[in-house]
């Protein structure tokens, strides 16, 4: 390793240390306090720990109040939220769904659960969302609209939807994607798994298209242990998701009738009980995340060869995961740096492997991914738990 690379490593570890203090620090831990324990204990004492109970209703109502969504359906995880949203939108086998190659595997897995086809698209450099300019040119060249249906000229299959992903809580250029969706008659299903608490133009992530899918995994800004939700302003769609997620069950007297293939995807009430306590403090959590983000930004500003990932409008986002971008796009150096930081005790990780490179996705359509490849080779996530923000926050 060169002396230059050793110098950069030391500067990065010092910047992290100056922000959050001595290791160890995990990448992202939940903030659990007595109110969370009390809420879960109350649920256990009630006996209603499964898929019915007041805690589920309360959690869904609080989600609506916070996001300004008209409807919220609490589910077992974010991937199930994506899957059931695709089903409820009428996505059929062999339909193509435009989805970033730079995202968590659940985005494309949910498409395959429907026997539909992930069609991988590139990301934009600033916020890591879909590059709408490249996508627009790509669709102009590679598709034709016949009878209001978008057809892939190369595969002859229908392209029926777009799945934007709000990476690390940043919201991309949704207005431009809405314009594209209208031009090509595409349904927008937002993967907002990482974006609870992120707003753009006063609208919460997930409410620009047909619906948004949230995650409350243990590493998210609030947690229900496992868990997810669909948010939407479309009553008919919400009713459809709710019906499908409860095994398409209809009560008839003392019996139950299932009128179609449904899914056992409803969130257990014990998880919702934790969620009700967690979401009541989400505004404070977002303040802590913003404080941490600002402190990192100040400390990394002094390092010329590293760019701290931020945006002019970051105060509107939840700042879920903080990231740095190496100006030297050297995979070997990035791996060495991550290894060193983890050895010190600062849990860091690269972004996901591009989905189009995974064995079970390599056969599917894919546009030029120049930007995604650059992001993949240069970006590192650094410790971002809300409770570490008070060490030496700027």
For residue 51, the model assigns a pLDDT of 82
CATH of residue 177: 3.40.640.10
> Which domain range does residue 71 map to?
34-279
Please indicate, yes or no, whether residues 10 and 72 belong to a single structural domain of this protein. Answer: no
The answer to whether the beta carbons of residues 320 and 168 sit under 8 Å apart is yes
| Distances 51 to 206, 213, 232, 262 between C-alpha atoms, Å | 24, 19, 21, 15
Please indicate, yes or no, whether residues 330 and 183 belong to a single structural domain of this protein. Answer: no
- Residue pLDDT, tens place only, 96-151: 999 999 999 999 999 999 999 999 999 999 999 999 999 999 999 999 999 999 99
Domain boundary among 214, 248, 279: 279
| Distances 117 to 58, 97, 149 between C-alpha atoms, Å | 36, 6, 16
Q: What is the mean pLDDT of the chain?
A: 95
- List residues bridging with 188 in a β-sheet: 162
- Residue 274 in this model has a pLDDT that exceeds 80: yes
Q: How many domains does the chain have?
A: 2
Distance of alpha carbon 94 from alpha carbon 78, whole angstroms: 23
- The DSSP 8-state label assigned to residue 349 in this structure reads E
* Longest Cα separation, the chain: 76
* Rounded (5°) CA angle 184-187-191: 130
- Residue 391 in this model has a pLDDT that exceeds 70: no
Is residue 24 helix, strand or coil?
coil
For residue 374, the model assigns a pLDDT of 95
- Residue pLDDT, tens place only, 323-343: 999 987 778 889 999 999 999
What's the pTM value of the predicted model, to 2 decimals? 0.96
- Residue pLDDT, tens place only, 154-175: 999 999 999 999 999 999 999 9
With 0-12 / 13-18 / 19 or more C-beta atoms within 10 angstroms meaning exposed / middle / buried, residue 234 is middle
- List residues bridging with 180 in a β-sheet: none
> For 341-355, what is the mean pLDDT?
97
**What are the φ and ψ backbone dihedral angles of 215, each rounded to 5 degrees?**
-130, 140
The answer to whether the beta carbons of residues 249 and 262 sit under 8 Å apart is yes
- Residue 393 in this model has a pLDDT that exceeds 50: no
Please indicate, yes or no, whether residues 184 and 39 belong to a single structural domain of this protein. Answer: yes
């Amino acid at each position: 390793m060169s002396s230059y690379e050793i110098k950069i490593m030391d500067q990065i570890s010092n910047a992290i240390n100056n922000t959050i203090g001595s290791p160890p620090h995990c990448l992202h831990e939940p903030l659990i306090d007595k109110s969370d324990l009390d809420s879960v204990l109350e649920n256990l004492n009630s006996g209603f720990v499964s898929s019915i109970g007041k805690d589920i209703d309360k959690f869904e109502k609080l989600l609506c109040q916070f996001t300004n969504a008209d409807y919220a359906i609490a589910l077992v995880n974010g991937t199930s939220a994506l899957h059931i949203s695709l089903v409820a939108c009428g996505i059929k086998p062999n339909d193509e769904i435009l989805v970033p190659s730079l995202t968590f595997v659940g985005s494309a897995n949910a498409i395959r659960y429907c026997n539909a086809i992930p069609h991988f698209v590139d990301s934009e450099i600033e916020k890591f969302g879909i590059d709408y300019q490249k996508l627009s040119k790509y669709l102009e060249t590679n598709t034709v609209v016949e009878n209001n249906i978008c057809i892939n000229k190369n595969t002859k299959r229908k392209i029926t939807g777009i799945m934007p992903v709000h990476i690390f809580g940043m919201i991309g250029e949704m207005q431009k994607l809405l314009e594209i969706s209208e031009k090509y008659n595409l349904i927008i299903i937002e993967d907002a798994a990482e974006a609870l608490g992120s707003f753009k133009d006063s609208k919460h992530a997930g409410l620009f298209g047909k619906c948004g899918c949230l995650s409350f995994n243990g590493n998210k800004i609030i947690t229900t242990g496992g868990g997810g939700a669909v948010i939407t302003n479309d009553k008919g769609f919400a009713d459809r998701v709710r019906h499908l997620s409860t095994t398409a069950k209809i009560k008839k007297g003392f019996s139950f009738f299932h009128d179609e293939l449904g899914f056992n995807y409803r969130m257990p009430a014990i998880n919702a009980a934790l969620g009700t306590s967690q979401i009541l403090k989400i505004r404070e959590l977002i303040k802590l995340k913003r404080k941490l983000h600002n402190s990192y930004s100040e400390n990394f500003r002094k390092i010329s060869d590293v760019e701290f990932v931020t945006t002019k409008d970051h105060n509107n986002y939840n700042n879920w995961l903080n990231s740095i971008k190496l100006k030297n796009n050297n995979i070997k150096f990035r791996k060495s740096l991550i290894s060193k930081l983890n050895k010190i005790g600062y849990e860091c990780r690269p972004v996901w492997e591009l989905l189009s490179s995974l064995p079970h996705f390599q056969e599917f359509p894919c546009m030029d991914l120049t930007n995604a490849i650059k992001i993949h080779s240069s970006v590192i996530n650094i410790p971002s738990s809300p409770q570490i923000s008070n060490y030496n926050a700027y």
